[in-house]
Amino acid sequence: MFADRRWRLLLSLFAAAICAVPALAQQPASDPAAPAAGAPPAKKPPKHKPAAAAATADPAVAAIGGVKPTLLGQYGDWGAYTASPGGKKVCFAIAKPASSETNPPGKTRNPSYMFIASRPAEKVTDEVSIIIGYPFKPNSEATVAVGSSSFALYTQQDGAWIKNAAEEAHLIEAMRSGQNAVLKGMSAKGTRSTDIFSLKGLAQALDRSDQDCK
Domains and CATH numbers, the chain: 5-212 (2.60.40.1880)
Q: What integer pLDDT is reported at residue 68 of this predicted model?
A: 75
H or E stretch at 175: helix 168-177
Exposure of 148 in the CB half-sphere (CA atoms within 13 A): 0
Tell me the one-letter amino acid at 67. Answer: V
The model carries a pTM of 0.75
Rg of the chain (C-alpha set): 16
- pLDDT tens series, the chain, 214 aa: 334 555 556 666 666 665 554 444 334 333 333 334 444 344 444 444 443 333 333 433 333 345 678 889 999 999 998 888 878 888 989 999 999 999 999 888 888 899 998 988 888 899 999 989 899 999 999 999 999 999 999 998 888 999 999 999 999 999 999 999 999 999 999 999 999 999 999 999 999 998 888 8
The reported pLDDT for the residue numbered 19 is 54
CA distances (Å), origin 80, targets 49, 76, 125, 175, 209:
18, 11, 14, 16, 6
Q: How many residues are recorded in the chain?
A: 214
